[in-house]
Amino acid sequence: IFYQAKEKFKKELKIEEFLYSDLSVLASDRPYFPPEEEEENLEDGIHLVVCVHGLDGNSADLRLVKTFIELGLPGGKLDFLMSEKNQMDTFADFDTMTDRLLDEIIQHIQLYNLSISRISFIGHSLGNIIIRSVLTRPRFRYYLNKLHTFLSLSGPHLGTLYNNSALVSTGLWLMQKLKKSGSLLQLTFRDNADLRKCFLYQLSQKTGLQYFKNVVLVASPQDRYVPFHSARIEMCKTALKDRHTGPVYAEMINNLLGPLVEAKDCTLIRHNVFHALPNTANTLIGRAAHIAVLDSELFLEKFFLVAGLNYFK
């Protein structure tokens, strides 16, 4: 009965991907609270996990993500940096926020005298763009060979150019005007008349993502704040029909995915998420799904126990 119901559900969704219940092995078979804690061997180095919040967010936004990773990987020699340098001003331009995050990471390592074996990044929304920008900086070059996992939660990697929600697009435009936001201007490709000179296009031309062992893109079609195709880094029907901007959009996608495909040691994984959301205004405008990847214990526990913990082992 379960199998028949699942196949019917997949047909209704019109998807060809795997569901979590198709997996025979979970990412973790260990109890949350093991009877005896394993002794940490610090000689092997620390796995630093940097968590970066999104627009108008703060350092506590990804606290549940941190909690479920720690519970699922006890004794994993993990050190979390919950970024807070940009929480007072996420409306600044990306270059400014990149400098702040880079300073924060280097200061954290130096302050605690950490011996780093691996570095992973977890970003939500706009925070993913800041992370990608940090990877391109000369001061971060020393750490490129230590990169392990990049977990992108609803990241606008292709901006919000082809957002199918007129309400959200209007809201972002008004917010940009009121806040004089450099980041929102850059996300909507209005920071330069020549699209190829816009920040996001130029960022797509720089190296970074291919140094990770895992690049994990989590996206939800219910999210109206960040377009589904932007979070998945893929083409959309509107861009295919757009003869003016569409070709530039395709170039960005090739710039981002080309190095990932060619990199032998890098694996690209996409997870599509369908949340069980109540019928509220937040659900209607797409905000509920955008935030659910942070505050839904149901989603986070299931995601990490089924697959997510594998990326941080």
In a domain, 79, yes or no: yes
What pLDDT score was predicted for residue 77? 92
310 vs 269: CA distance, rounded Å = 12
Residue 302, pLDDT > 90, answer yes
**Range of the structural domain that residue 175 is part of:** 44-311
Cα–Cα–Cα angle for 2, 273, 219, nearest 5°? 160
Q: Compute CA distances 184 → 54, 174, 225, 275, whole Å.
A: 12, 10, 12, 26
Q: Are 94 and 86 in contact (CB under 8 A)?
A: no
More confident residue, 168 or 22: 22
In a domain, 23, yes or no: no
Dump pLDDT digits (tens) for 189-231.
Answer: 999 999 999 999 999 999 999 999 999 999 999 999 999 999 9
The confidence band for 82, taking pLDDT boundaries of 50, 70 and 90, is very high
128 vs 137: CA distance, rounded Å = 15
Q: Compute CA distances 301 → 32, 67, 293, whole Å.
A: 11, 10, 11
21 vs 155: CA distance, rounded Å = 26
Which residues make Cβ contacts (< 8 Å) with residue 102, sequence separation at least 6? 134, 137, 139, 140
Residue 128, pLDDT > 80, answer yes
In a domain, 118, yes or no: yes
The conformation of residue 37, written as its DSSP 8-state character, comes to P
Handedness of CA 201, 192, 184, 236 (dihedral sign): negative
| Among 179, 198, 176, 180, residue whose Cα is nearest residue 189 | 198
In a domain, 163, yes or no: yes
**Quick check: helix, strand or coil at residue 122?**
strand
Structure tokens at 188: 């909507």
Please state the pTM of the whole predicted model.
0.90
The domain that holds 221 is classified in CATH as: 3.40.50.1820
Q: What is the mean pLDDT of residues 283-292?
A: 87
Q: What is the mean pLDDT of residues 86-100?
A: 95
Dump pLDDT digits (tens) for 262-284.
Answer: 999 999 999 999 998 988 878 87
What pLDDT score was predicted for residue 16? 76
Q: Amino acid identity of 113?
A: N
Dump pLDDT digits (tens) for 16-51.
Answer: 777 877 887 888 777 666 655 555 554 579 999 999
In a domain, 140, yes or no: yes
Q: Are 73 and 62 in contact (CB under 8 A)?
A: no
In a domain, 6, yes or no: no
What pLDDT score was predicted for residue 39? 52
In a domain, 69, yes or no: yes
Domain count, the chain: 1
What pLDDT score was predicted for residue 279? 87
What pLDDT score was predicted for residue 272? 96
Runs of H (alpha helix) within 38-93? 63-72
What pLDDT score was predicted for residue 18? 78
In a domain, 288, yes or no: yes
Mean residue pLDDT of the chain comes to 91
Element spanning 6, H or E:
helix 2-13
